[in-house]
Structure 1
């Protein structure tokens, strides 16, 4: 079984181009859930998705690189959905998967597994389930992470973030 440090090393190895991309600065300055930035949330989802794959002994069935890249890009919508915008973010939970996919395709070369996992990670809020095991792992990791971040008591100690 992989340790936390080994999982984090895998995420860095397969996702360094994503983590170092200039648009990730937007994710570092936008809250996702509670007091967690979108950047930190994306790393948590990637690490948890790898942890699930490891604990469920899915290595022979999962493309690790695609799993990590999809998890890091699943919320690559590049705006703070908490900011008032005359209602454009009103349906964020239903639409941000498509927005994240559009942005990710603009900035990175994605394979079919990555594209599908990003687009479908909000299932069942969106009607189409993932087509690949990697997408289910990203979806499951996202739900677990989002729940933990949302109900955490730390959410009430949210520091002010520097804006872009």
Structure 2
């Protein structure tokens, strides 16, 4: 079982959102080449939640905003939005989130500003900075999954070669 599922407090905050049929549709959408949008959203949400909780900040809003930050269904690489995707998709995510839950101001700001860096307006709340940075962390980590496997193979292969050439 995934560690986030064992975290009763976290699941009490976002479990119903994760289980929602509209949110489950994200499981069929590739996010960063080697993850689904559902996996990515949960990764960002749970990591951000743990950081906010450790800092004594608003962990509930951080968990919910992090979970819903990429709540959209199109593939941004193949749509007309692709140039304005960083600005457009957070607004679509807020609209989709409002269809399944009521958002507070902090959650809404987290979703709208999570692309800060690619967009101009910085987060209004400190929790938004957590989600913004954690989102970048997971994007890189998920996109580089195959590299991890690739790097392990040459090391094992070189050890085998070196081992066989020692006299």
Q: TM-score, normalised by structure 2?
A: 0.78
Question: Once the 2 structures are TM-superposed, how far is the Cα of residue 50 of structure 1 from its aligned partner?
Answer: 2.2
Structure 1 or 2, whichever has the larger Rg, is 2
Question: Once the 2 structures are TM-superposed, how far is the Cα of residue 106 of structure 1 from its aligned partner?
Answer: 2.6
Alignment of 1:40-59 (within 5 A): 40-54=39-53, 57-59=54-56
* 8 Å Cα contact 1:7-1:50 kept in structure 2: no
Supply the distance in 1 between the matched residues of 2:34 and 2:147 (Cα, whole angstroms). Answer: 7
Please list the CA deviations of residues 82-104 of structure 1 after superposition, one character each: whole Å capped at 9, or x if unmatched: 4x34x234432332111111211
Residue of structure 2 in register with 1:13 after alignment: 12
RCO higher in structure (CA 8 A, sep ≥6): 1
1:111 aligns with 2:111: no
Question: Once the 2 structures are TM-superposed, how far is the Cα of residue 109 of structure 1 from its aligned partner?
Answer: 0.3
Q: TM-score, normalised by structure 1?
A: 0.79
Q: Please, which runs of 5 or more residues in structure 2 have no aligned partner? A: 150-167
Following TM superposition, the consecutive aligned residue runs of length 4 or more in structure 1 with deviations greater than 6 angstroms are none
Distance verdict in 2 for CA 1:6–1:100, change over 3 Å: closer
RMSD after superposition:
2.3
1:76 aligns with 2:47: no
Question: Once the 2 structures are TM-superposed, how far is the Cα of residue 154 of structure 1 from its aligned partner?
Answer: 6.5
